[in-house]
Amino acid sequence: LFQVNGHNPGSDGQAREYLREDLQEFPGGEVLLYKLDDLTRVNPVTLETVLRCLQARYMADTFYTNAGCTLVALNPFKPVPQLYSPELMREYHAAPQPQKLKPHVFTVGEQTYRNVKSLIEPVNQSIVVSGESGAGKSWTSCCLMKFYAVVATSPASWESHKIAERIEQRILNSNPVMEAFGNACTLRNNNSSRFGKFIQLQLNRAQQMTGATVQTYLLEKTRVACQASSERNFHIFYQICKGASEDERLQWHLPEGAAFSWLPNPERSLEEDCFEVTREAMLHLGIDTPTQNNIFKVLAGLLHLGNIQFATSEDEAQPCQPMDDAKYSVRTAASLLGLPEDVLLETVQIRTIRAGRQQQVFRKPCPRAECDTRRDCLAKLIYARLFDWLVSVINSSICADTDSWTTFIGLLDVYGFESFPDNSLEQLCINYANEKLQQHFVAHYLRAQQEYAVEGLEWSFVNYQDNQSCLDLIEGSPISICSLIDEECRLNRPSSAAQLQTRIETALAGSPCLGHNKLSREPSFIVVHYAGPVRYHTAGLVEKNKDPIPPELTRLLQQSQDPLLMGLFPTNPKEKTQEEPSGQSRAPVLTVVSKFKASLEQLLQVLHSTTPHYIRCIKPNSQGQAQTFLQEEVLSQLEACGLVETIHISAAGFPIRVSHQNFVERYKLLRRLRPRTSSGPRSPYPAKWLPEWCPHSEEATLEPLIQDILHTLPVLTQAAAIPGDSAEVMPAPMHCGRTKVFMTDSMLELLECGRARVLEQCARCIQGGWRRHRHREQERQRRATIRSFLVTRKHIQRLHAAATVIKRAWQKWRIRMACLAAKELDGVEEEHFSQAPCSLSTSPLQTRLLEAIIRLWPLGLVLANTAMGVGSFQRKLVLWACLQLPRGSPSSYTVQTAQDQAGVTSIRALPQGSIKFHCRKSPLRYADIRPEPSRYSVTGFNQILLERHRLIHM
């Protein structure tokens, strides 16, 4: 006999007494138990020892413990803010070896992040968070999302930093919205997820988070219209009733103290009843305030829809009429949903039937029970469409383009194993999903023993609990519970709960996981799950699996004038639903079970393509009290998840398996650490600790390379040893199979550290070579600059000397020319003044000036014909050329003139053009700057007078 739905048979009490005695005789000091961070160090490894160790750590406020390749997380049932601070996140992210720190959920997050960065196949990672309802799965997933949002967003530019912050905020804001619309208070958990979700965090090539996607599974939409005793509806209904303002209450018709049939236990206040947090998160996700008000108005309409109660009709031909106190609810619900009141009431009261080849329409009034069912179906249809729309909005807000991300880290948060006094199709699907995930865990870690034998490793097998027989009972072929339920849905006949029970017990009588409680008065069957037996009631099972949606309900919602409902239910559906078959076609009906199985298979395909990591959440007690550790409840959870077998295999097994080709490609750098000569220092490790090579590799070329890598393990182990530790250092176990290399996490860490050290040495070598090359180039450039400077300086010195000589000669020549010109001009002037007659009517000074003007005007014409703006130097050269001065000694310079009879002086040779000098660029400073032009703009004959006047004054 076994436990069923929380009721223990009488023979179980004696076993509990034996367990208490075993726990009291547990060997070892209890004071040191809380210091054991890994349960593989417990000796001996039994359920009792593991239980005592977890209890000691829990009472010491240590809530995370390693169990080999799995992390065990105990729910503290109290806020521990310092355990999840951003500073602690950065500490685990910056740690060289996070495994050396205390066990934490951040250790798993950092390990997955580093696996993505290391590009070890498979690159994509997944974290499966499992446990019972209320064990803390949602909180663990939220902490992981916050961790990735902190460590995976470190862009360089300010603009990229703002984009990363926006993505991080949107990803974190998706969680309160999903919890408000998808979580509810149950008997076992105040914030129980009533749907499963797989969050895919998308990373780019730089391992920065660029977006995310959310995929949901099996929303428990029946909770909208049906809540068990002491349970509540979805959180969002309580949030709008408690957090709405006065104006919003008037708009949504939610007066203070109003009672609603679908809102049980409204007086109970929870931490999740925070309306402002949900509204703010929706605003960050791009849902503006008018759209939010529209959503909440529709939800208020659903609450009023639940208050519509029908009275039994005495005449079956007449429809059931709503009760007197329900007429206000009909009017209010129709107004909030944007529907005509009479059409809403008629659709719920009357069923439309199409029959015959001509598809004739018949209208049949519904009995009271069917009216309630159609009313509930209308509410579930609206809420399910609204939830899917919210998920699509969240994905469009946080999802990145396909080209912008290359890898992902998946977080799977599904509903935990459930067992209630009344279990139906929802619990069957939930427990079926947990069975599949348990099988995935078993296949990844426990069934790996079979691979050891295939690869040629010596291995002593550890017995473990395989749940394949339970899965065969639920989903097996050709006959299983799911196939029988689907077959009942396809048969066009009323379903009988007793008949379904008989069919299941008869067809599956040989299954060891199927049981029957003969004392139960209600039709039911029992399934022995890996976590314990659960009794499922067959009443209503087939109807829930069909999930029938009358077509007239869909047509009713398509007539709504509400903007939100018009978008959720378009008037021109492109695809025909299962409620509207075309003609006489008999297409297979999609049932709830078949759709759930398809989505679950897709999820498992994704998990199989990634590197999985497991976090087992344990609930210390069912009352949610802090510092309370109930051994019996924790023990049942440890037995269910097979934690002891996991510890055994993790302690002796090799969770890391790498193919020979990938192993060589990644760790061939370690051959640099191998001693070059055989006469070097002998390895201090015994031969029995060195990994043995099994010569079964398909590629013979890889054997010597792997052998070289394996011979570097003693060097790596000695380098990783703590200085001053006198204990014997032994390398972690590692074995080579026929096609793969098997190693433990510690060995992988050792190899990665050695690889990082070799890469660091190579980087330093490259860096040193580059620095030497850069230093040599800089020295060569410096010497070339010095040589060029010296050569240039000598050349400039020569040019300066030549320029000095030219300047001195020019100064001398200019002085001589000035003296000679003055002398010759004065001689000509005196000669002509002595020969010309003087007028009696003029004064002697005027007579001399007139004589100078008459005789010297040709020289003014010559000077006027020179280039404009010519300086004094070029003007004197022109004068010298016009006067044809000889090139002899300065004393031999004479002016040759020809005088006509009128006494006018003429120039013998006129200049043929302006004189230009062509020379190289002078090294002298300011040599290329032209002197200022003459201040006198007067040229020609008048200029002669002015210059003469100036000479006279001088």
Residue stretches of the annotated binding site for ATP: 131-138
CA distance 423 to 415: 15
Contact 736, 693 (CB under 8 A): yes
Structural element, H or E, at residue 72: strand 70-74
One-letter amino acid for residue 545 of the chain: N
Residue 12 CB contacts under 8 Å (≥ 6 apart), including other chains: 1, 3
Question: DSSP H helical segments within 127-261, as ranges?
Answer: 137-151, 158-182, 235-243, 246-252
Structural element, H or E, at residue 184: strand 183-184
* Intra-chain end-to-end CA distance of the chain, in Å: 142
Phi, psi of 653 (to 5 degrees): -100, -175
One-letter amino acid for residue 357 of the chain: R
CA distance 157 to 153: 12
CA distance 767 to 769: 5
Q: What does the DSSP assignment read for 486-536?
A: HHHHHSSS---HHHHHHHHHHHTTT-TTEE--TT-SS-EEEEEETTEEEEE
One-letter amino acid for residue 616 of the chain: R
Contact 860, 943 (CB under 8 A): yes
Q: Which two tokens stand for residue 130?
A: 């499992």
Q: Which residues of 65-81 are buried (b: 16+ CB within 10 A; e: fewer)?
A: bbbbbbbbbbbbbeeee
Tell me the helix, strand and coil percentages in the chain, rounded to 5: 50, 10, 35
Contact 863, 944 (CB under 8 A): yes
List, as residue ranges, the binding site: 131-138
> In terms of Cα–Cα distance, which of 281, 197, 185 is closest to 238?
185
One-letter amino acid for residue 341 of the chain: E
CB atoms within 10 A of CB 845: 8
Q: What does the DSSP assignment read for 291-320?
A: HHHHHHHHHHHHHHHHT--BPPPSSTTSPP
Contact 512, 497 (CB under 8 A): no
CA distance 257 to 58: 42
CA distance 927 to 783: 31
The three-state secondary structure class of 219 is coil
One-letter amino acid for residue 145 of the chain: M
Instruction: Tell me the pairing of strands 734-736 and 740-743.
Output: antiparallel
Phi, psi of 252 (to 5 degrees): -95, 0
CA distance 385 to 391: 10
CA distance 567 to 588: 28
Contact 709, 670 (CB under 8 A): yes
Contact 413, 138 (CB under 8 A): yes
Contact 851, 836 (CB under 8 A): yes
Contact 201, 145 (CB under 8 A): yes
CA distance 417 to 133: 7
Structural element, H or E, at residue 34: none
CA distance 570 to 581: 19
CA distance 460 to 473: 30
